[in-house]
Amino acid sequence: MRRCSGFLALSLSSLLLLAGLTGCGGFVTQTVIPPTTGNTQMEGTVYSGKTPVSGAQVRLYVAGSTGNASAATDLSGTGSTSTAAYTTTAADGTFSLAGSFTCPTATSSFTPEVYLVATGGNPGLSSSVNNTSLVLVDALGPCASLASTTKTSINELTTVAAAWALSGFMSSATSVGASATNSTGLANAFLNAQLIADPALGTTPGSALASTNTIETGKVAALANAIATCSGSDGSTACQTLFTTTGQCSSTCTSDTLSAALYAVKHPAKNVAALYALGSKTAPFTSSLTAAPNDWTLSMTLTGGGITYPTELAVDSVGNVWVAGYYGAVYAYTPQGNTLSGASGFGKGTLGSEIFGLAIDTHNNVWVTVEEHPSSISGLNGISSGNTLGSLINISGLTYVSSNYLYFPESASTAQNGNIIVGNYGDATYTVFNYTPAAGFVYGVSNGGIGYVSGVTDETGDASGGVWTANSGNDTVAHFDSAGNVLSNPTCCNIANGIATDSIGNAWVSNYYTNSLSEILPGCDSNSSSSASCHGNPQNVILFGDSAGCTSTLTPTAGTCGLIGGGLSYPSKIIVDAAQNVWVANYQPADVGLNATVSEFAGNTSTTPGTALSPSTVRNSSGTVTAAGGYGLDAKLLDPFDLAPDASGNLWVSNNGYNNVVMFFGLTAPTATPRLPTPAAP
């Protein structure tokens, strides 16, 4: 599929430091902060909807550092002047946590994050009511950044905001945390919660949201309304109705409002219409929605920085997102969506045009490939270089390399050893380049030589130093060893478009014209392999998807189809997150009368890999099918080109058709960045 102007031919239709709780900075800086023992006073009000909650117990917690959802520490009674481990709200819902609170010592790698939890209390009912199912939270941020007097407002909006943003780090009110190696991901997640709802005002969106960005606030209010049916009650019948409506249990069960919010956002396609209808009955918050959303995924759309026709994108080690723009610019955004690249992007007028490939190496340098004008590779200085962010790397006196090694390069990825691998569409080869700050740029060599390959659309290096290529020209993929020798070259696909590897060596391929996925198994790298682990198939391919002859009842076996669904429609790029689940951008459904989505499939940790985790169909509040399956219909995707997870568990999508970038809060597992071929937790 010669795209010339590539996929786009199908659709052409101040760097600031993090300061306190503002969320407007560029980097999450990790500095050593001494313990805080000042006279901190935490003041605020607990509400259910617009009604103050009296008698609620309010505690201050610091997130754990021993793993995702690790035990948090109650700081409420740590000060010498504290007389209790919590404070109780007054008749008007107000509280004051006064005293000398000791923040855990921050280190160069971990900054303690704090949040408030309100439990129980009376939401304006009879004096005897104590709603034990009421659990509301407010994400505050770095402990040592708390002001001498911090004002807060805790309600259902701040609670669902924390549930979405901290989805990968939270399992209950007292189990919030990250590994000690992922302080950055946790810190960004806390800041993201404040984009969704303001921690001081209890409103949506938060005041830190950039003016060029938008959040689905109607969906935030709608889920908060559903949660309020329980928190605003006596804790009995209304709460059981909420818990069964979310799907947590079928009849009666013990739960709370935070757990209900978490369950909804972690199962975004479950009981959506029923949960929306529940919240619509006595809605305390105004929602712009007039009907049930398609799912409970929550997105933020970025339009700043002059972004135009975004193609590939990647995330650096502090969570900044770098996006290739087809017409010759690179755009960069902070983890909270603020532009780092000015009004028109980096490299405009210098890089050339038709930029498709973008990858970030292990030094945080950013590399882009220009397909035709001229066929070249250029590097931009990232956060670790000490040079001006986004400035071009001098490569032997040149701002770009254009040589016989590059021929219509359309894609780029980072190898396990830090090399940059470029897929050349024009001559069916891949090229390996290396750059280190000390040694500079090392020209690569091209490998290929499979004569019938007419194109390479994407590639990734595997853990052994070899390379996989997806070859759209002859419906194959190829696996090369580290010396460039062909290990296997199965015929598997119909316009093999994107390719990604997982933690055990599977290669996952998106097939553009058959709306399907192919999985090439580990240990099946020989063309003559016929072992049981390869299903007796020398082509070592399992096909999942909606191609001719497939039905949903087929069990996946070699060379057959099965486990269809999940919204696959002209799948483009494909990635694997740290949970080994497979994510796909569905590029061209608008051209066939559908709406664009992203799809999720179970990966190698599942007993049934390839099972669709995203919905097969989407229904409205009356149960009528309204669109194809997949996540993100409410985000208004059009020709989504590429996607990438980050260390906070967010999923970033380059939304080519609408000239923007869309981020889904907490939708994936937190994944180490820059992303390497073997996906892993940070």
List the chain domain ranges: 41-280, 299-664
pLDDT at 415: 83
Section 454-477 average pLDDT: 69
407-443 tens-digit pLDDT: 888 889 988 778 888 888 877 788 888 888 877 777 6
Name the pairing type of β-strands 57-62 and 87-88. antiparallel
Give the predicted TM-score (pTM) of the model: 0.90
Residue 627, pLDDT above cutoff 90: no
Q: Which residues of 150-169 are buried (b: 16+ CB within 10 A; e: fewer)?
A: bebbbbbbbbbbbbbbbbbb
List the strands of the sheet with 496-501, edge to edge: 496-501, 507-511, 516-520, 541-545
Range name among 41-50, 443-452, 537-546 with the lowest pLDDT average = 537-546
pLDDT at 464: 66
DSSP calls for 392-461:
BP-BTTBSSB-STT-SSEEEEEE-TTS-EEEEETTTTEEEEEEEETTTEEE---EE---TT-----EEEE
pLDDT at 522: 61
Section 32-46 average pLDDT: 60
Per the DSSP assignment, residues forming a β-bridge with 260 are none
Nearest CA-CA partner of 102 in 37, 51, 149 = 37
CATH, domain range 299-664: 2.120.10.30
pLDDT at 550: 39
pLDDT at 589: 64
How many beta carbons lie within 10 A of that of residue 549, not counting itself?
7
pLDDT at 30: 29
pLDDT at 533: 47
Residue 8, pLDDT above cutoff 70: no
* Res. 238 pLDDT band, cuts 50 70 90: very high
Range name among 148-162, 164-178, 218-232, 409-423 with the lowest pLDDT average = 409-423
* Res. 619 pLDDT band, cuts 50 70 90: low
369-414 tens-digit pLDDT: 998 888 889 999 999 999 999 999 988 777 777 766 788 888 899 8
In Å, how far from its chain's centre is CA 390?
A: 23
Cα–Cα distance between 149 and 29 in angstroms, integer? 23
Which pair of structure tokens corresponds to residue 212? Answer: 């060029």
pLDDT at 2: 33
Section 42-48 average pLDDT: 94
pLDDT at 445: 66
Section 630-637 average pLDDT: 92
Residue 33, pLDDT above cutoff 50: no
Cα–Cα distance between 249 and 265 in angstroms, integer? 16
Average pLDDT in the chain: 82
Share of the chain above pLDDT 90, in %: 53
Residue 562, pLDDT above cutoff 80: no
Most confident of 149-153, 378-382, 616-620: 378-382
Q: State the virtual CA torsion across 225, 227, 233, 238 in degrees, nearest 10.
A: 110
In degrees and rounded to multiples of 5, residue 346 shows phi and psi of -85, 145
